[in-house]
Amino acid sequence: MTIQVCSTAEAAGRRAAAIVAGQLRRTPRLVLGLPTGRTSEAIYDELARLHARGRADFSKAHTINLDEFIGLQAGDPRSFRAFMQARLFERVNLRRGHTHFLNGRARDLERECRRFDRLIAGLGGIDLLLLGLGENGHIGFNEPAGALCAVTHRARLATVTRRANADRFGGRIAAVPREALTMGMAAILGARAIVLVATGRSKARAVHAMVAGKITTAQPASFLQLHPNVRVIVDDKSWGQVLDRSLGRPSQPRLRSKT
Ligand code: GLP
C-alpha cells in the first residue's frame, strides 16, 4: 500500500484522474471500476477536463459501478446511475453499452447479483478500481459486520452511511433507501490495481484503520492491506487528523511525497 498526501481534495481528485488517464493511454480497453459519492466528483471533473483536452480516451474502455440503491425507479435522479451519467458519462466518450451497473429494481435481486458477478468475470475482471471510503470504513457498500461477503450481494445500509447519502435525498435520512446492491469483497480484491481516495476530516479515523489497523470485518477497507497494488490518495485534512489524534504514523505503508 502506498499513500500519497495532497494539499487539497481537488488535488487528490486530480491525482487519481491522472492515474486513470495514464492507464487508459497504456490500456485503451481498460476495465475501470467506479465509485460514486462526493469524493469522486473531483476525479470525474478532472477526467472530463482531460478528455476535453484529448488526454483521456474512453472509446474502448468499459466501466463497472460498484453499487446501487435498491428500489429507485428507472431514471431516478437520486440513483447512482443518474449520478454517473451527469458527472462522467455525458462528458466523455464512453460507449453506452460499455457502462455497467447493478439494477436495483430487478425483480429477482439474487439473480441480478449473479449476473453482475458473471459480467465482471466475462470482462476479464477489473483492471483499475477507483474506490471511495465510508466514514465507517466501508468500501462500495460492504458495511462493517461480523462477516463480509465475497460475491455481489444485497446490503443493509448502516445509519452513518444513510446519513452520508442524505444530501441526495433532500437531506432526509428517512428517504435514503435502507438497502443496496454492492460488488463483494472478492471482485474488489480481485482488481489488478486499486486507487482509493479519501478526503476531509470525517474520513481520518477510517483512513487510519485502513492503513494501520488490524485487518477486521469491522473495517472492511482494512482488507486492502492484503492487496499487492493499492494506492491511497488523501488530503491534508484526512491525513492531518490521523496524526493529530496521536493515532501514530502508520509504519507499514510507504508514504509518498506530497503533491
Ligand atoms: C458511498 C458509496 C461508496 C463511496 C462512499 C464515500 O456510500 N457507496 O462507494 O465511496 O460512500 O462517499 P463520499 O465520497 O460521499 O464520502
Ligand 1 centroid to residue 51 C-alpha, Å = 24
2-256 maps to CATH 3.40.50.1360: yes
Residue located nearest, by CA, to atom 1 of ligand 1 = 37
Annotated domain spans of the chain: 2-256
pLDDT given for residue 256 in this prediction: 59
What percentage of residues in the chain have a pLDDT greater than 70? 93
pLDDT given for residue 240 in this prediction: 72
What does the pLDDT look like over 17-41, one tens digit per residue?
Answer: 999 999 999 999 999 999 999 999 9
pLDDT given for residue 246 in this prediction: 46
pLDDT given for residue 52 in this prediction: 98
Closest to 164 measured CA to CA, from 132, 197, 208, 210: 132
Ligand 1 centroid to residue 142 C-alpha, Å = 11
| Residues carrying an active site annotation | 67, 136, 138, 143
pLDDT given for residue 241 in this prediction: 59
Question: Which atom of ligand 1 has the smallest separation from the CA of 140?
Answer: 9
Question: Which atom of ligand 1 has the smallest separation from the CA of 66?
Answer: 9
Question: Which atom of ligand 1 has the smallest separation from the CA of 182?
Answer: 8
Q: Which helix (H) or strand (E) holds 57?
A: none
Pocket lining for ligand 1, CB < 6 angstroms: 35-39, 66-67, 132-134, 140-141, 161, 164-165
Give the Cα separation of 95 and 99 in Å (integer): 7
Concatenate the DSSP letters of all residues of 76-98 into one string.
-TTSHHHHHHHHTGGGS---GGG
Q: What is the pTM of this model?
A: 0.94
Nine-digit cell string for 17:
484522474
What does the pLDDT look like over 196-254, one tens digit per residue?
Answer: 999 999 999 999 999 999 999 999 999 999 999 999 999 999 887 565 554 445 444 55
pLDDT given for residue 250 in this prediction: 46
Give the Cα separation of 87 and 46 in Å (integer): 10
Ligand 1 centroid to residue 8 C-alpha, Å = 18
pLDDT given for residue 74 in this prediction: 83
**Ligand 1 pocket check: which of 10, 36, 64, 101 to mutate, most ligand atoms within 8 Å of Cβ?**
36
Ligand 1 centroid to residue 35 C-alpha, Å = 7
Residue 172 has pLDDT above 70, yes or no: yes
